[in-house]
Every structure is written in structure tokens, then in C-alpha cells.
Amino acid sequence: MNISLIQYDILWEDKQGNFEKLSKFLTGVPDGTDLVILPEMFSTGFSPAGDVLAEGPRSITFEWMQRTSREKGFAIAGSYMVAEGGNRFNRWVFISPEGTQLSYDKRHLFAQGGVEVNYTPGTKRVVFEYRGVRICPNICYDLRFPVWSRNRNDYDLLINSANWPEARREVWLTLLKARALENQCFVAGVNRTGLDGMGIKYSGDSMMIGPKGEIMASGELYRECIISCEINVDELREFRTRFSVAEDADSFIIHL
């Protein structure tokens, strides 16, 4: 599978401006790309104004993603603010040109930042298959909680779409590698750059990591860019067969 990560400076609370910016950016995605991954809250930034910015499940951001996927011929994924059933979610949405549509609601909300205080945490761990790759999505703060994303021999690629501040850059770098190593999987970490409307700075550090903890591709620090990489599931399976860590893993049950 060919994957491209879009690392960019999200315009603050400006959905239409971000759609236009991304549409121009996506012209640089390599031919043959299967999946494009965007950061967390890619259409607004990590804003506390969810009461104003949250939208219905099939509203403007969903429509832009659907149209883009259909026109460009690749799947596209990222999170944005969704209001549904009287609740507000930080929802990661995946849309493919074949018509596949699915979502994951962020489980671990960053209440310390005050932004997600009035959000509802997700209750469902999501794993799905696309073009032969089993994928498990996470969002930002989820990265700190390894039990939630523990590989149960059911996925090959862990995705984390984030707005991860520069102040905790070393944590981001360390945990991305840790998740790849402990789960013997590929990890795609997609972060933003720039300064947001609350004065928080972001370094980017988007990257693809292999199952041995090796960095396969990474973005330029502090700069907008496209990071493209090919992952090979056959090679991953061969590595897992030779070094079968999963067979020694502890069993567990998550109580929600």
C-alpha cells in the first residue's frame, strides 16, 4: 500500500480556507497513492469552539472528503468535530473512492487542555481492512494508552492523526516507535505544523515507522510537506512469523 501523510499548518477555525489549502496540497500527492492521512481536527485546528464548529456527520467536511476521494482516486482520512445525538465527538473519518465510509470516535479526550471537556469519549475500538491492509485508527492523546491500541493479531497499520504540541515532541517521537515495536506493526503518525489560535506551537514530526522501530519516511521539521511511503504486508507477516512476539502476549479485557 502506498500512503501519503499531509503535514501542514492548519488555518484556525477556517474550514473553507483549509479545504482550499488542502486541495492545492493534494495535487502533489504521488500517482498510485492508496491512502492519504490528515491530522486531527484538520479543518479547524484544535479549537475550544466546538459548540460553533461541530457539524453533523454528513455535513461540509464529510462532503469535501467524499468529493476529494472520488475525484483523486485515493482514500482519505482524518478527524474533525462532529455533533450527533446531542453529543459532540472528535471523529476520525475514512472515505474511499470505492464508497467505503467508516469512523472512529476518539477514546481518550485531552480534558487538561480544556478543548475536549464537553466531548463524549468513544467506546469502540475500530479495525478495518482496506486493499489488503488491516488498519487501526487512533487520535492524538490515544497514543499514550497502549492497552487501547494493543495488537490482538488483528491489524497491520496503526494510524495516529494528531495535533501534538512541540512542547511534548520527545513524547510523540518515543511513543510512535514504542507502539510500532510492541505491536509489530507499521505506524503512521500525522501531525500539524505552525502556531494555532491559542498560541500553541507544533513541530510536525509526521512519520512512517516500521515494525522494528525504524523510521521509513519523515517530514521536514516545522515545514509543510507530503510524506509518502510504501508498506509491504507480506514482509510484515514474514517478520512476525520469524519473531512471533504475539504468541507470548498477555491476555486482557478492557472494561469501559
Would 253 be classed as within a structural domain?
no
Which domain covers residue 182, as residue numbers? 2-247
CATH number of the domain bearing residue 150: 3.60.110.10
CB 158 within 8 A of CB 188: yes
- What pLDDT does residue 254 have? 81
Q: Could you report the per-residue pLDDT of 161-214, keeping only the tens digit for each?
A: 999 999 999 999 999 999 999 999 999 999 999 999 999 999 999 999 999 999
Give the 3-state secondary structure of residue 193: strand
d(CA 256, CA 254): 6
Type of residue at 154: D
- What pLDDT does residue 193 have? 98
d(CA 131, CA 99): 13
Query: What is the tally of structural domains in the chain?
Result: 1
d(CA 251, CA 98): 36
Q: Could you report the per-residue pLDDT of 97-109, keeping only the tens digit for each?
A: 999 999 999 999 9
Catalytic machinery residues: 40, 106, 140
d(CA 169, CA 73): 33
Would 43 be classed as within a structural domain?
yes
d(CA 204, CA 172): 10
Would 15 be classed as within a structural domain?
yes
Considering the entire predicted model, what is its pTM? 0.97
